[in-house]
Amino acid sequence: MPGLYRDHGVVLRTIKLGEADRIVSFMTQGNGKVRAVAKGIRKSGSRFGARLEPTCHVMIQCYRGRELDVVTQVETVEAHRTLREDYNSFTHAVTMLEAVDQVAQEREPAPALYRMLTGALRTLDTTPSPVITPGFYWKLLSLEGYHPHLDGCVRCGAEEGPFVAFDLAEGGVLCPTCGRLGGRRIAPEALTFLSRLVGGELHLAMAEPPDPLHLLEVERLGIAALEHHSERRIRSANLL
Amino acid sequence: MTAVYAGPVQRLIDELGRLPGVGPKSAQRIAFYILKLAPEDARRLAGSIVEVKEKISWCRRCFNIAEGELCQFCQDERRDRTVLCVVEEPRDIVAVERTQEFRGSYHVLQGTISPIEGIGPDQLRIKELLTRVRDDGVTEVILATNPNTDGEVTAMYLARALSESGTKVTRIASGLPVGGDLEYADEVTLGRAFEGRRTLDP
């Protein structure tokens, strides 16, 4: 049928529309970011029910519209109930959704981004760990082409550590001399953790998480870097 | 766009255009309707807008809309002061009242915690709720926020914040809508309906 399509997607956010409708943003597997109207969803007898709440992984059937599509059918793939019923996990999940919402382009397929998001949500649902969200931010930055440079000073090229700061604009660490001129201070332990995250050792980092202070440092730096590159604030990060 | 209409008409169109869901075209249509109205009808409309702004404010105790210091529910002496029902908006009180199941008092949060919109606990009437629970001898707090993501987050937050007070905290049940169809129920709702099932007395 022309105009109708099916896809897998994760609900990123919902916005109220009119009396009983909502506009739902999805990160889909094959169509990139999609915004679609779910009609009558706020009525208690709606056949969509709780399937289109943020963090839900669903299979959707939509009718292609000029600007907004229209959701015609929804089936749950993963409801992530444990995650939704825990305040901490949920606020962390929402910051990831918001980051994806800012980075993803409408109707530009980004299967890698989709896979990363579903993976991160699934892990947060089954084995919650404070390492997941910072790991997600930095992997997202790498995916978008902002892989951090951690092996040498980004200004003078000095290869010998210790590195004391991180420059958001240059996307890498600074040596003590260059660090005096700017950049955000960062502890050496936090840098070691960061290099584990982006170096493909996320599982090891999850098994032995670092000191909460350093974890927070890496998480905050990740948010700052994302905000710097997307030039938009991640509003939900205030609630972490 | 430059103003095409005479000053007062354009001002009216601009003001109407600021209402929710009213675009420039609709604003123009409503403005011309008002122009054609009989003077007394127009004056009555203007009068009721002025009146509602002058007479109605937030209830000092529960933050419902009130004509005067306290709202109708807080003034009613027959209502149980020890049971509190927490809702998001004054409109939700009307919905709860229609059930005729609840005879306690209310507390209106005036919104929900919404990580996506960046609205935190400090922007809501949560501090006032905690003070009320502590000072008024409340024995039960019923959390009746909407069963959507933001409402659930708010309920989880409140349950945590109230846990120290020692008051009984309950959450309204979720399940299948009466008159609904099992086949179309989603997994989360149906799952909760099963969790909250109850014995039928023969």
Nearest CA in chain B to A238: B118
ipTM of the complex: 0.74
**How many residues in total does chain B contain?**
202
- My answer on whether A142 and A224 are in the same domain is yes
- My answer on whether A134 and A223 are in the same domain is yes
- Judge whether A18 is closer than 8 Å to chain B, CB to CB: yes
**Does residue A40 form part of some domain?**
yes
Show the CA angle centred on residue A148, arms to residues A142 and A149, nearest 5°. Answer: 140
pLDDT digits (tens, 9 = 90+) for A195-210: 888 888 888 888 888 8
Q: Which of A81, A116, A147 is the last residue of a domain?
A: A81
Residues near B134 by beta carbon (within 8 Å), at least 6 away in sequence: B165
Residues of B in contact with A97 (CB under 8 A): 116
Nearest CA in chain B to A86: B156
Q: Which residues of A59-73 are buried (b: 16+ CB within 10 A; e: fewer)?
A: bbebeeeeeebbbee
> Is the pLDDT score of A217 beyond 70?
yes
Q: Which helix (H) or strand (E) holds A10?
A: strand A4-17
pLDDT digits (tens, 9 = 90+) for A31-65: 999 999 999 998 877 888 788 999 999 999 999 98
Mean pLDDT of chain A: 88
Show the CA angle centred on residue B118, arms to residues B112 and B120, nearest 5°. Answer: 50
Q: Which of A45, A62, A81 is the last residue of a domain?
A: A81
> Is the pLDDT score of A186 beyond 60?
yes
What pLDDT score was predicted for residue A69? 94
Q: Which residues pair with B66 in a beta bridge?
A: B57
**Does residue A95 form part of some domain?**
no
Residues of B in contact with A86 (CB under 8 A): 156
Nearest CA in chain B to A14: B116
CATH number at residue A22: 2.40.50.140
Question: For the whole model, what pTM was predicted?
Answer: 0.82
Residues of chain B with CATH 3.40.1360.10: 77-199
CA atoms within 13 A on the CB side of B99: 8
**Does residue A115 form part of some domain?**
no
What pLDDT score was predicted for residue A199? 84
What pLDDT score was predicted for residue B1? 52
Coil, strand or helix at A240: coil
| B157, B180, B187 member nearest A76 (Cβ) | B187
Residues of chain B with CATH 1.10.8.420: 7-55
Q: Are A191 and A213 in contact (CB under 8 A)?
A: no
- Judge whether A35 is closer than 8 Å to chain B, CB to CB: no
pLDDT digits (tens, 9 = 90+) for A98-125: 999 999 999 899 999 999 999 999 999 9
Nearest CA in chain B to A82: B188
| B118, B177, B188 member nearest A235 (Cβ) | B118
Interface of B with A (CB under 8 A): 21, 113, 115-118, 120, 147-149, 152-153, 156-157, 160, 177, 179-180, 184-189, 191
In whole angstroms, give the CA distance from residue A24 to residue A29: 16
Read off the pLDDT of each residue in A174-191 and give the average, rounded to a whole number.
85
pLDDT digits (tens, 9 = 90+) for A131-171: 899 999 999 999 988 899 888 888 888 777 788 889 888 88
Residues of A in contact with B150 (CB under 8 A): none
Q: CA B76 → CA A204, B59, B104, B143, distances in Å?
A: 62, 13, 10, 21
Verify whether the Cβ–Cβ distance B116 to A13 is below 8 Å.
yes
Q: Which of A62, A81, A100 is the last residue of a domain?
A: A81
- Judge whether A98 is closer than 8 Å to chain B, CB to CB: yes
Residues of B in contact with A16 (CB under 8 A): none
pLDDT by residue for chain B (202 residues), tens only, comes to 555 788 889 999 999 999 988 888 999 999 999 999 999 999 999 999 999 999 899 999 999 999 888 999 999 999 999 999 999 999 999 999 999 999 999 999 999 988 877 788 889 999 999 999 988 889 999 999 998 888 998 999 999 999 988 899 999 998 888 887 888 888 888 888 999 898 998 7
In whole angstroms, give the CA distance from residue B52 to residue B68: 12
**Does residue A91 form part of some domain?**
no
- My answer on whether A230 and A133 are in the same domain is yes
In whole angstroms, give the CA distance from residue A213 to residue A69: 44
Residue ranges making up the domain that contains A57: 4-81
At B197, the amino acid letter reads R
CA distance, residue B103 to nearest chain A CA (Å) = 24
- My answer on whether A140 and A235 are in the same domain is yes
> Is the pLDDT score of A2 beyond 90?
no
Q: What are the E-state strand segments in A18-111?
A: 21-28, 33-38, 57-63, 69-78
Verify whether the Cβ–Cβ distance A91 to B153 is below 8 Å.
yes
Q: What is the CATH T-level fold of the domain B7-55, as seen in this structure?
A: Helicase, Ruva Protein; domain 3 (1.10.8)
Count CB atoms within 10 A of the CB of residue A85. 14
- My answer on whether A147 and A226 are in the same domain is yes
CATH class as words, domain B77-199: alpha beta
Please name which of A91, A90, A83, A81 lies closest in space to residue A51, comparing C-alpha atoms: A81
What pLDDT score was predicted for residue A150? 87
Structure tokens at A69: 């599509």
**Count of structural domains, chain A:** 2
What pLDDT score was predicted for residue A133? 92
Structure tokens at B126: 């949560």
- Judge whether A50 is closer than 8 Å to chain B, CB to CB: yes
Residues of A in contact with B191 (CB under 8 A): 79, 81
B169: left (phi over 0), alpha (psi -120 to 50) or beta: beta
- What would you report as the CA-atom Rg of chain A, rounded to the nearest whole angstrom? 20
Size of interface A-B (CB pairs under 8 A): 70
